[in-house]
Chain A
């Protein structure tokens, strides 16, 4: 029994020992597992913390990125706004329009809560031109304070810009209080003549602080305003001067027009007078000449020689007078447009030859050399032959008259691009420059020994000029004293607006 009891105790002890061993083993194993879990948890916590640290880095980087992106976007917007504002104000030369456009730009595009543009007037007082976010009383107060602050106005006049980013603390606080803003830029408007005004922009809200970029932007804008105002003022000055000039030109033109009208009236009256008088003179002259000729025939009885001489003089002077009157009448008719030109195609060479035949006795008397240089290809020219022949007669007649014996007369005619250029040259006594200017005036006669001997009307060249001009041509003269004279004239081959007749 005792052994049996010991046996059970032994078995029980062994079992207990085994259980204890197992428990110890399990405990050890669990402890090990726990350690492993703790290690894993530690690793996990560490990873979490590392991830969190990474997240912090990400946030900081993201924050920086956002800030720089915001700044870039703001810069881009500002540059865009500046470009638009600059374009707007630089495309007008009206000072008021500049400020009007500026107002729109400052408010809508640049996006500042408050803005003022002040410009100095003629007496150097600041005047409001643009304002946003300020009452009139505010502005008067601000202007008064700025004008009183000599150090501020001096700094601005020297070109300094003040901003909430860079201005010294005391100055910043003064401006903050004066304009009732937290963030601002105050910059001068400068031109080459110095300061002409101020630009202020500002924000009250801390949500919209001013940056260095804003400061640059507003400074550039102020420069642009300065340039635009300078341009506008220059333009205004030029415009006013041009208006004064234009007004003067208009006045003078009116005076000239009035004078011209007067001259034309006088000229017309003169022409009409000459025409009337010439007509009235010609009739009795014809009678005088007729009676003188009748008396000279002796049909009314013999007349003494002395009387015959007197009658011949009456006849000759009557002829001269009739010629003078005829010339005057022709000039008057041409001037008044009452002469209708009968344009026909004419060979100039033939016309010149006819004139030569007419004047051959005089040419021969003075033993003058006659030279012709006429282009054989010269086309037929549209002209009134009876009128134009008088031009040649007058000019060649003059050449003969003023050329000494054994001299030469040269006639040239050439075609040039629809125009006929004619020259009648002589080797005569020539004409002084003063006389050349007046040569085509009616009744003007050059004072020289020949003219003193040979009487003339002083109407020949004037008539020639009128006839050439009536053919849409021009006439002029070149001459050298004692060397000779050349009359140049040019006429179109075909008269404009004239149908060909033959």
Chain B
């Protein structure tokens, strides 16, 4: 058999039992040893207990993984559990890498290290896509992406996720082989005789009049329309910035992100506000271009589902007629919050495009990286928020 894919999932309460259950299920489809595994688990599980068992059962394959707010499967969305994707392939090649203690490094340089480490493991095969998971609490994952792009080039398909911890915004974990990391990033290059198609959308729409971001420092917006940036949220939500910060800013900001108009783009680039400082400046999850036009953005269930469908169509188009054998979905946790019980309807939209028999696995992220919708033929990856990214592998 050329390529075999296994997906195991468990919602057992006990970490060790859950790891064992999921690993055994993930192993069932494979006759030979496993080439690589990707693990997603919710914050309810102790990674120190999971990892040794998974490694033992899967016989120490190349493995990366991370914590997530929810797990996406072919049949359901799970907000508690462990999912393991395993692949054994003669045609597909992979290489994994990691970078630790990112905040102690130059973030851009950390991105380069991650990419180089992954390439070192991958070797000289043809590269198709780079998938990585970075701590979602890192202040500027845009820089990490830039570092990665310095190695892979600006137009190489990169899909990434900020690891999340169920809206706690306290600590997330990244897995790399037998190591449990935090404030780190792990990635995998996929290549060889395979094809990938990537599609990404968010479905949020601008609200109100445009404003100009006139002072920016990295990921921090100081002023909008020559007033303190937090005034924008205060105007719309009618509450003081201080209260916004204490009263579930995280959730409010992810439901109503800032939308930045990028010249030549088809969609607004979304930015979550992760903090409002005492001076009224807004700290975003990614970089914001100074002088750009900004809106408060709004989304609803229908626009989310429509975006999922469009992302799937785009991924399918990018497969250039090849049949998908696996779908990996990286999706913003904001969408889970917004869609609630209807979250699985997005997956149904994707399955409508690719067919129900194609296995689906995915996670809810705090910040997504995928090629941005622009008028250019070859689209550059950007850090985005509130988006759904469909990575189809053939």
Contact with B along A54-75 (1 / 0, CB 8 A): 0110111011001001100100
Tell me, in angstroms, the Cα distance from A52 to B80 when the chains sit together. Answer: 40
Tell me, in angstroms, the Cα distance from A103 to B250 when the chains sit together. Answer: 30
Closest to B249 in A: A206
Main DSSP-derived SS at the B contact region: mixed
Q: Is A76 an interface residue (CB 8 A)?
A: yes
- Asked whether B170 lies within 8 Å of A205 as measured between CB atoms, the reply is yes
Tell me, in angstroms, the Cα distance from A48 to B169 when the chains sit together. Answer: 36
Q: Which of B79, B235, B246, B340 contacts A69 (CB 8 A)?
A: B340
Q: Which of A55, A66, A108, A111 contacts B338 (CB 8 A)?
A: A66
- Asked whether B167 lies within 8 Å of A208 as measured between CB atoms, the reply is yes
Q: Is A207 an interface residue (CB 8 A)?
A: yes
Chain B residue numbers with a CB within 8 Å of A208 are 166-167
Tell me, in angstroms, the Cα distance from A108 to B238 when the chains sit together. Answer: 37
Query: What 18 new A-B contacts, CB under 8 Å, besides A59-B236, A60-B237, A107-B13?
Result: A51-B208, A52-B209, A55-B296, A56-B235, A56-B236, A56-B238, A59-B207, A59-B298, A63-B255, A69-B340, A108-B13, A204-B168, A205-B166, A205-B167, A206-B246, A207-B166, A207-B248, A207-B250
Chain A residue numbers with a CB within 8 Å of B11 are 108
Within 8 A of B (CB), among A50-104: 51-52, 55-56, 58-60, 62-63, 66, 69-70, 73, 76-77, 103-104
Closest to A53 in B: B208
- Asked whether A207 lies within 8 Å of B296 as measured between CB atoms, the reply is no
Chain B residue numbers with a CB within 8 Å of A206 are 246, 248
Chain B residue numbers with a CB within 8 Å of A77 are 341
Tell me, in angstroms, the Cα distance from A215 to B303 when the chains sit together. Answer: 34
Closest to B255 in A: A66
- Asked whether B251 lies within 8 Å of A207 as measured between CB atoms, the reply is yes
Chain B residue numbers with a CB within 8 Å of A107 are 13, 44
Q: Which of A59, A73, A104, A205 contacts B340 (CB 8 A)?
A: A73
A sample of 25 cross-chain residue pairs with beta-carbon separation below 8 angstroms, ordered by A number, consists of A49-B209, A52-B209, A55-B207, A55-B208, A56-B235, A56-B236, A56-B238, A59-B296, A60-B238, A63-B237, A63-B256, A66-B338, A69-B340, A70-B337, A70-B340, A73-B340, A77-B341, A103-B13, A107-B13, A107-B44, A108-B13, A108-B80, A207-B169, A208-B166, A208-B167
Within 8 A of A (CB), among B233-261: 235-238, 246, 248, 250-252, 255-256
Chain A residue numbers with a CB within 8 Å of B13 are 103-104, 107-108
Closest to A65 in B: B300
Chain B residue numbers with a CB within 8 Å of A62 are 256, 298, 300
Size of chain B's interface in residues, with CB distance under 8 A?
A: 31
- Asked whether B256 lies within 8 Å of A59 as measured between CB atoms, the reply is yes
Binding site for B on A (CB under 8 A): 48-49, 51-52, 55-56, 58-60, 62-63, 66, 69-70, 73, 76-77, 103-104, 107-108, 111, 204-209
Contact with A along B68-81 (1 / 0, CB 8 A): 00000000000110
Binding site for A on B (CB under 8 A): 11, 13, 44, 79-80, 166-170, 207-209, 235-238, 246, 248, 250-252, 255-256, 296, 298, 300, 337-338, 340-341
Which of B235, B236, B337, B341: most chain A CB closer than 10 A?
B236
Chain B residue numbers with a CB within 8 Å of A111 are 79-80
Closest to B247 in A: A206
- Asked whether A207 lies within 8 Å of B167 as measured between CB atoms, the reply is yes
Q: How far does the Cβ of A52 sit from chain B's closest Cβ, in whole Å?
A: 4
Chain A residue numbers with a CB within 8 Å of B238 are 56, 60
Chain B residue numbers with a CB within 8 Å of A58 are 207, 298
Tell me, in angstroms, the Cα distance from A36 to B13 when the chains sit together. Answer: 71
Q: How far does the Cβ of A162 sit from chain B's closest Cβ, in whole Å?
A: 23
Q: How far does the Cβ of A318 sit from chain B's closest Cβ, in whole Å?
A: 94
Q: How far does the Cβ of A205 sit from chain B's closest Cβ, in whole Å?
A: 4
Chain B residue numbers with a CB within 8 Å of A73 are 340-341
Closest to B238 in A: A60
Closest to A205 in B: B168
A63 and B207 in contact, given A108-B80, A205-B170 (Cβ under 8 angstroms): no
Tell me, in angstroms, the Cα distance from A33 to B80 when the chains sit together. Answer: 66
Q: How far does the Cβ of B341 sit from chain A's closest Cβ, in whole Å?
A: 6
- Asked whether A48 lies within 8 Å of B236 as measured between CB atoms, the reply is no
Tell me, in angstroms, the Cα distance from A58 to B236 when the chains sit together. Answer: 9
Chain A residue numbers with a CB within 8 Å of B298 are 58-59, 62
Tell me, in angstroms, the Cα distance from A77 to B300 when the chains sit together. Answer: 21
Closest to B300 in A: A62
Tell me, in angstroms, the Cα distance from A162 to B250 when the chains sit together. Answer: 27
Q: How far does the Cβ of A131 sit from chain B's closest Cβ, in whole Å?
A: 12
Tell me, in angstroms, the Cα distance from A275 to B209 when the chains sit together. Answer: 123
Tell me, in angstroms, the Cα distance from A55 to B237 when the chains sit together. Answer: 11
Q: How far does the Cβ of B382 sit from chain A's closest Cβ, in whole Å?
A: 25
Q: Which of A56, A70, A108 contacts B208 (CB 8 A)?
A: A56
Closest to A72 in B: B340
Tell me, in angstroms, the Cα distance from A426 to B111 when the chains sit together. Answer: 121
Q: Which of B168, B208, B341 contacts A52 (CB 8 A)?
A: B208
Chain A residue numbers with a CB within 8 Å of B170 are 205
Closest to B169 in A: A207
Q: How far does the Cβ of B212 sit from chain A's closest Cβ, in whole Å?
A: 13
Tell me, in angstroms, the Cα distance from A107 to B42 when the chains sit together. Answer: 13
